[in-house]
Amino acid sequence: MSAIDPRIVSAIQTRLKNIREWTAEAAPYATVDQRHLDSNTPERAYWHFGYETALQDILKLAGQCSSPKHRNGGTSS
């Protein structure tokens, strides 16, 4: 496994810092409530959607394409 480019690490750390600052100011209750752990709640659905988005963002930062069509040379299977 190859190491993560230090520029990508720096970009991720900056994004984390910004999100933590925003959460502390706009929604401090979110770190305590943890409603995303409750089954069948909108919070859980949004948490999963946000996590998926974050993973896609990391792949984009790393120069990868999240589309299977692009990952295997132009064909989808």
pLDDT in tens, the chain (77 residues): 678 889 889 999 999 999 999 999 999 999 899 999 999 999 999 999 999 999 999 889 888 644 444 444 444 44
Q: For residues 77 and 70, what is the distance between their CA atoms, to the nearest angstrom? A: 11
Contact 60, 71 (CB under 8 A): no
Residue type, 20: R
Q: What share of the chain is helix, strand, coil (3-state, %, to 5)?
A: 70, 0, 30
pTM above 0.85, yes or no: no
Domain ranges in the chain are: 6-63
- For residues 33 and 49, give the distance between their C-alpha atoms in angstroms, rounded to a whole number: 18
